[in-house]
Copies of this chain bind each other. A is one copy, B any other.
Amino acid sequence: MRAEDFDEVRRLPLFRSMRPASFQAVMQGTYAQRFPPRLDLFRQGQGADFLHVVLEGSVELFADWQGASTTMAVVRPVGTFILAACIRDLPYLMSARTLEQTRILLVPAPGIRAVFREDAEFAVSIVEELAEAFRSMARHAKNLKLRNSRERIAGYLLEQSELAGRADRFVLQVEKRLVASYLGMTAENFSRALRSLAMDGVELKGQTVTITDRAALVRACPNDMLIDGPNPDATGGGLTLPRPALPRERRRKGRPGQG
């Protein structure tokens, strides 16, 4: 592992409070790796060998069953994923693939399991990460069960706006089909419902969303702290939502290149 990576990782919420010796121990066998876009990292059902930390790029977590597939989350820097599986030494419940060119830190699971029993501060960090991951997933389930697709989209746009610093204009950070899948609907239905939100103060041009009437949009999906967040820090325990950037800042060089 490169020295600069070492420092960067050391500053991550999950690792910054632990004792130096513990950090050294966890980092045994840890390495950062760069993956091309659209690469499968692992499949659901596999054994949990490594905790993954996204350093650059983005990763989609998805699940499938009987031919159907659904996006469960998109993880961005500096989020972690499959912590729960590593802790319990159980098979992953989700599959993962990179969306863009992505750099990932792979931390051997046995080291984590060993060290967090000895370093209370590390245990605290893990507990907080896991608790947040649980809450994110609970919110996801509530969202699916309590709202219809139009409301889920409206809520998503409001959340993205929030993450962009309450901006009224922002760019969707991920493909629409992926957002649709994340929100539990087909791409077609997403497209139509999104268009229909024009009546509720949403303007669309390509990937750029402009909220022209925030009050109307909130009326379409009354905000609820207990579903929509806040997602306190950037690291949602592997459940960070796709995060938007400001319009001009797009930086979409590393997008999917091959299918």
Contacts and interface: CB of A to CB of B under 8 A. Distances in A.
Contacts of A139: 93
Interface centre among A92, A118, A139, A144 (most CB of B within 10 A): A144
Contacts of A45: 225-226
Contact of A116 (B70, B127, B133, B137): B127
A135 interface: yes
Interface in A117-173: 117-121, 123-124, 126-128, 130-135, 137-142, 144-147
Given A88-B131, A116-B127, A127-B130, A144 B184 contact: yes
A55 interface: no
For the residues of A in contact with B, the DSSP-based class is: helix
Copies in the complex: 2
A122 to B, nearest CB: 9
Contacts of A224: 65
A216 interface: no
Given A117-B120, A226-B93, A145 B144 contact: yes
Query: What bracket does the count of chain A residues touching chain B fall in?
Result: 35 or more
A222 interface: yes
Nearest to A151: B66
A54 interface: no
Interface stretch (A27-35, A79-87, A196-204): A79-87
A45 to B, nearest CB: 6
B130 A91 contact: no
Interface centre among A65, A91, A119 (most CB of B within 10 A): A65
Interface in A50-84: 63-66, 68-70, 72, 83-84
A92 B145 CA distance: 17
Given A134-B134, A224-B65, A70 B124 contact: no
A209 B206 CA distance: 52
A14 interface: no
B70 A145 contact: yes
Given A70-B145, A118-B120, A120-B117, A94 B138 contact: yes
The 8 closest A-B pairs by CB, nearest first: A123-B123, A84-B131, A137-B137, A65-B146, A130-B130, A70-B145, A134-B134, A87-B131
